[in-house]
Amino acid sequence: MTSGRFGRYAAMVLMMTAMTAWPAVRAQSAPSVSGVSGTLQSGASLQITGGGFGTKPAAAPLKWDNFENGTNGAVIGNGWSYTTGCNPGPCHPPIYSNGVTRTGSGLSIRANFDDGGRTDCPDPEGCNWSSSFGVTGNSSNTNRISGLTLPVIYLDTWVNYMPATPEPRNVKLIRVHTNAYAPNLYLNIYCLTDTDGARIGQDGGGTNMVFPSSPWRGTSFFKGNWRHVQMYLVQSSPGVADGTAIITIDGVTSINRVGDFMTRTDASQFWDTVWIGNYAGHNALYTCLASPGNTYVYWDDAYIDTTRAHVEIGDADTYSACTHREIQVPTAWTSTSITVKANAGSFSNLSNLYMYVMDGNGAVNATGYKLASTSGDLVSPAPIRDLHTNTSP
């Protein structure tokens, strides 16, 4: 073959290879949003069109609640599982509360770690150290989901920490249990004098990691402030560090362990429980003083799912620049169209915010789709094409 023919042959092979590979490249592209229609009002239905949204086997999340339909002072309902915190004395499960709420919200959930100065506790950790709500497949809990297994967990929620003085030595804000109880994974914070600040830890084996010191995510960060916690977990193979743990708080990712995180030690173990609220230790330990007072942890807008695919509305035109994002609740999902029940969260309204879609692999449209409203509070239509040039203005 002459050099000229070889060059033409090589070029043709390269072109055919590129054409063959093109669909694979498109399949891996990030989501793109080309339009949003519907009324810009919390609770209304919004239709999102575009491409690259990927698949979501069940459009709706495993569990979602903004807690607005509860009754102040009543025990959490709406199908949530919960722990009772009876050790000793009356039970102290999580309750609906109007005492500490986010902007635009009438109720939150209060997890109660109210030791109340009691000294008759059989456990050295103090009275009422457990107060949780969440989802579980464990047969010993109320409202369990039979056969629940959670190889992948996506959690999005808001938390406000109101500790006693002195504050508890150790508070586990979120805890994920296996069917064997341990190993169990948790996000915890310590007393103000502890230099660790925050940790993703595991009892019974697995990877542990202290949060970086900057940005600080310890007690003083959570105390008296509403903070947005997003957690993505992928269960590891037994005894192998091939799982994933990503934790983002107020839009900043502090833990980003992808494919190198161990969550279990045995093939018989699997995640079946997610607890929110969970634990506060009242006893003294290390540099932390005893905390016999009443500690409360407030929660709002809890979203739990079995995939990372989700929709958010943010306050900036790029995902990375957003300082405030709110989860949306999908009701239908295809690769080119999503329907969500709008959730304003603590935004005063949805006008001039930006729509973001994340697929199951974590890819997101980096540039948001602006929700610009008209007098009817409707999402604006796409720009009308110029009749002469057939191009958008």
The model's pLDDT over 26-72, given as tens digits with 9 standing for 90+, comes to 345 899 999 999 999 999 999 999 999 999 999 999 999 999 999 99
State the pLDDT at residue 10: 41
Q: How many whole angstroms separate alpha carbon 314 and alpha carbon 356?
A: 7
Residue pointed to by tokens 């919004």 = 46
Closest C-alpha to 241, from 219, 254, 257, 221: 257
Question: Which residue pairs from 216-219 have beta carbons closer than 8 angstroms and sit at least 24 positions apart in sequence?
Answer: 217/189, 217/249, 217/254, 218/189, 218/190, 218/192, 218/194, 219/161, 219/163, 219/167, 219/171, 219/189, 219/190, 219/191, 219/192
DSSP string, 372-392: -B-TTSBBPPPPPPPTTT-S-
State the pLDDT at residue 7: 44
State the pLDDT at residue 58: 97
CB 50 within 8 A of CB 319: no
Q: How many whole angstroms separate alpha carbon 343 and alpha carbon 312?
A: 9
State the pLDDT at residue 376: 43
Positive or negative CA dihedral for 381, 386, 391, 393?
Answer: negative
State the pLDDT at residue 189: 98
| Domains of the chain with bracketed CATH | 32-58+310-371 (2.60.40.10), 63-233+266-305 (2.60.120.200)
Closest C-alpha to 343, from 96, 1, 45: 45
Q: How many whole angstroms separate alpha carbon 348 and alpha carbon 180?
A: 44
State the pLDDT at residue 88: 75
State the pLDDT at residue 117: 78
Q: How many whole angstroms separate alpha carbon 13 and alpha carbon 225?
A: 60
Q: How many whole angstroms separate alpha carbon 104 and alpha carbon 101?
A: 8
pTM, two decimal places: 0.88
State the pLDDT at residue 27: 46
Q: How many whole angstroms separate alpha carbon 364 and alpha carbon 268?
A: 34
Please name the residues in contact with 8: beta carbons below 8 A apart, sequence gap of 6 or more: none
Beta strands at 294-305 and 369-371: parallel, antiparallel or unpaired:
unpaired
Provide the 8-state DSSP code for 39.
B
Residue pointed to by tokens 């000229």 = 4
Q: Which residues of the chain have pLDDT under 50?
A: 1-27, 375-378, 380-393
